[in-house]
Chains A and B, each alone.
Chain A
Amino acid sequence: MLSIKDLYVSIDGNEILKGINLEVKPGEIHAIMGPNGSGKSTLANVLAGKEEFEVTQGEVTYMGEDLLEMAPEDRATSGLFLSFQYPVEIPGVPMVNFLKTAVNQHRIARGEKELTAGEFLKLMREKKEMIDMDTQLTNRSVNEGFSGGEKKKNEIFQMALLEPKLAILDETDSGLDIDALKTVAHGVNALKTPNNATIIITHYQRLLDYIIPDHVHVLYKGRMVKSGGRELALELEEKGYDWVKQENALQ
């Protein structure tokens, strides 16, 4: 589904990612962990198509296509979803309009009929229940004045509406209270099928108690320095990143 080969990325001449390799197959859940500033969000944003990052080397294939050649909106409509670490506010744009446009752009790309207002509202109601989303939030402008946790929940709500093939969750768990964390995890699990995949970026093993990853990777200073199974996350929790840093220094 997603294949990243030897990816180098810089911004303003600073090299941030230095040779990333990653293979994600349908049905898999990958967790990426790593200290602050190691490049996790950069990787997520490059995959989503943010312009200001410059890919200097390497390639990324997504569903058989050259991802780096695709426009951000085409990446989105072909099923790549990013739950932002810091979702932006768009004052004056009602959530409902925004979501309806997003859903219909996805449908148009798939050659399906656009949803009418009525059909869309019904869909929205279903998904709201699924992730226990406060009904009032969709009456407001996109993310405007949402609390930190509400913003994160709103990302998962959008994911539920758009049903992506590959979802990248960038620290969606931080800022969520324990109940919200459970419902979000429940949502992610409920949306899981043998055909889609998820990349979870997190600092906390806790989330991985609810969403069981198939693979765990450690990103450090722009490199994937360690990969393993679920137990790697537990080990990290116990020993902290110093352990990885020391090991990395030895190499």
Chain B
Amino acid sequence: MTDQDKILSEVTQGEYKYGFFSDIETDIIDRGLSEDVIRIISEKKNEPDFMLEFRLNAYRKWLKMKMPNWAYLKVPPIDFQDISYYAAPRKKPQYESLDEVDPELLETFNKLGIPLEEQKHLAGVAVDAVLDSVSVKTTFREVLAEQGIIFCSFSDALQNHPDLVRKYLGQSVPVADNFFAALNSAVFSDGSFCYIPKGVRCPMELSTYFRINSANTGQFERTLIIADDDSYVSYLEGCTAPMRDENQLHAAVVEIIALDRAEVKYSTVQNWYPGDKNGKGGIYNFVTKRGVCRGVSSKISWTQVETGSAITWKYPSCILLGDNSVGEFNSVAVTNNHQQADTGSKMIHIGKNTKSTIISKGISAGKSNNSYRGLVKVMPGATNSRNFSQCDSLLLNDTCGAHTFPYIEVGNKSSIVEHEATTSKIGEDQIFYCNQRGIDTEKAIGMIVNGYAKEVLNKLPMEFAVEAQKLLQISLEGSVG
């Protein structure tokens, strides 16, 4: 190994920066999964009957399903009976002010660099903070309520807007869509709900911070976003989790529905605990995210920066049902050490003149594996449709892997589908050039990687873009700070 390689491997094997554990008292039910457990969850949450039926239906279907094995991932066996399916902060909080919030919780947010106190004042960002499985704090709800916007925890939505939930839940991601979506549908704990009424442009970015915080507690978040005719919303999701030895399962579902001429932007920065240098620990992240452009000329765009998790299995997708609807997927996925990611997108063109774009930037370091998997499917009736896909991979050394699995099906002659892919290795000459100008190797890699991912980072809302840039640097340079 040359010295250059040594530096590269040193700086790319940094420890996880946000590793810590806070011990807010939690109320955990016994491990294991059965119809009884599901009934308990539903009862504890005081859910309407249709919700219990939904869960039980999903559970019965899940029992007959098998874990998918087609991804380019090595997944250790998961014992689904060894997981506790419900955890909630013991003191169900209903705070008037921050003074009443558990100081430990505030401390946790401080360590993450997202003090609620400041967030309140942060222009344009409402924060619905989810710790473990139950929402503990919702801000800006009133400001939003004036416009008729509903932004609350999923549980609250079930209490206060059951008809809306009932109408749209499972529309984008049917209960038996896949193994993990079925599991989520059966046991999901909480998450966010968002409804933008007709003709309303949401005046601020809506954001949610998720954290995993209880030992052996699987996380099953459920998010449902509905944008009614002619509305617009930009939604931000950011995650970071404490250092942990045991693996933790995370199987979230996000559903988006865009009606006529509505637009939804969904941005994610995912930074779950990736495991240590030797591949011990880390989150298993099996996520189903899907948006349906149900209305004409509607638009859904997914933007993600994925740096965390030991295993990532995630394909944010768009079903372009309405004529002239538009789907976008912009992704930066970083894998380091022993991380594995199999991620990409599905664009299903059903309506006429539908358009989709996929931009995927994979960055691999250490001994990690990073795969892009994408499906572009143009149905026979989706005449004059277009897709453009660009999938680039950047390798930081010779020990990591990058793979591309594009699947393309075009059902008519008037549509055009283009796919471009490149693989490049970070050049030692580029790093040396930076060194020669006084820039050390860590900074040089950060700069080059951010340059490479710029096209996607530029799609993020400003405040998120800065955070994401730092994150890219941290996840590759590690030891910094």
Contact = CB atoms under 8 A, between A and B. Distances in A.
A complexed with B: yes
Interface of A: 48-52, 71-73, 75-77, 81-82, 84, 87-88, 90-94, 97-98, 101-102, 105-106, 109, 141-142, 158, 162
A109 B437 CA distance: 12
B447 interface: yes
B76 interface: no
A77 B441 CA distance: 14
A90 B440 contact: no
Contacts of B430: 88, 90
A102 B1 CA distance: 28
A92 B433 CA distance: 15
23 contacts: A49-B435, A49-B436, A51-B432, A52-B4, A71-B440, A73-B436, A76-B436, A82-B436, A84-B436, A87-B433, A88-B427, A88-B430, A88-B433, A92-B455, A93-B447, A93-B451, A98-B439, A102-B437, A102-B438, A105-B438, A105-B443, A106-B438, A158-B437
Given A73-B440, A92-B452, A92-B454, A52 B433 contact: no
Given A90-B448, A90-B451, A92-B454, A72 B2 contact: no
Interface in B1-56: 2-4
Nearest to A76: B438
Interface in B399-429: 427-429
Contacts of A73: 435-436, 438-441
Contact of A92 (B4, B436, B437, B450): B450
Nearest to A84: B433
Given A72-B432, A88-B433, A162 B448 contact: no
Given A50-B432, A90-B434, 18 more contacts: A49-B432, A49-B436, A51-B2, A51-B428, A52-B428, A73-B435, A73-B438, A75-B436, A90-B430, A90-B433, A90-B448, A91-B451, A91-B452, A92-B451, A92-B455, A102-B439, A105-B438, A105-B439
A101 B439 CA distance: 7
B389 to A, nearest CB: 19
Contacts of B443: 101, 105
A102 B435 CA distance: 9
A106 B450 CA distance: 22
Contacts of B437: 76, 98, 102, 105, 158, 162
B434 to A, nearest CB: 8
B8 to A, nearest CB: 11
Contacts of A48: 432, 436
A92, A98, A106: residue with the most chain B Cβ atoms closer than 10 Å = A92
A48 B448 CA distance: 21
Nearest to A103: B438
A75 B4 CA distance: 16
Interface centre among A93, A98, A141 (most CB of B within 10 A): A93
Contact of A109 (B432, B438, B447, B450): B438
A70 B435 CA distance: 12
Interface string B444-481: 00011011111100000000000000000000000000
Interface of B: 2-4, 427-430, 432-441, 443, 447-448, 450-455
B435 to A, nearest CB: 4
Contacts of A49: 432, 435-436
Contacts of B3: 51
A144 B351 CA distance: 40
Contact of A98 (B432, B435, B447, B455): B447
Contacts of A81: 436
Main secondary structure of the interface of B (DSSP, over half): helix
A98 B438 CA distance: 10
Contacts of A52: 2, 4, 428
B438 to A, nearest CB: 4
A201 to B, nearest CB: 15
B78 to A, nearest CB: 38
B462 to A, nearest CB: 16
The 9 closest A-B pairs by CB, nearest first: A92-B451, A72-B435, A93-B451, A102-B437, A105-B438, A76-B438, A77-B438, A51-B4, A73-B435
B210 to A, nearest CB: 30
Given A91-B452, A92-B451, A162 B433 contact: no
A158 B434 CA distance: 12
Contacts of A51: 2-4, 428, 432
Contacts of B432: 48-51, 72
Contacts of B440: 71, 73, 105
Contacts of B429: 88
B50 to A, nearest CB: 50
A171 to B, nearest CB: 16
A37 B302 CA distance: 52
A83 to B, nearest CB: 10
A84 B447 CA distance: 20
Contacts of A142: 433
Nearest to B5: A51
A98 B455 CA distance: 18
Find the residue from B435, B436, B455 having the highest chain A CB count within 10 A.
Answer: B436
Contacts of B441: 73
Given A88-B430, A90-B430, A72 B450 contact: no
A158 to B, nearest CB: 7
A87 B434 CA distance: 11
Contacts of A93: 447-448, 450-451
Contacts of A76: 435-438
Contacts of A91: 451-452
Nearest to A93: B451
A73 B453 CA distance: 25
Nearest to B424: A91
B302 to A, nearest CB: 22
Interface centre among B427, B432, B448, by most chain A C-beta atoms within 10 angstroms, is: B432
Contacts of B451: 90-94, 141
B315 to A, nearest CB: 26
Contacts of B428: 51-52
Most interface-central of B429, B437, B451, B455 (chain A CB within 10 A): B437
Contacts of B427: 88
A183 B2 CA distance: 40
Nearest to B2: A51
Contacts of B434: 90, 98, 102
A87 B437 CA distance: 12
A48 B433 CA distance: 10
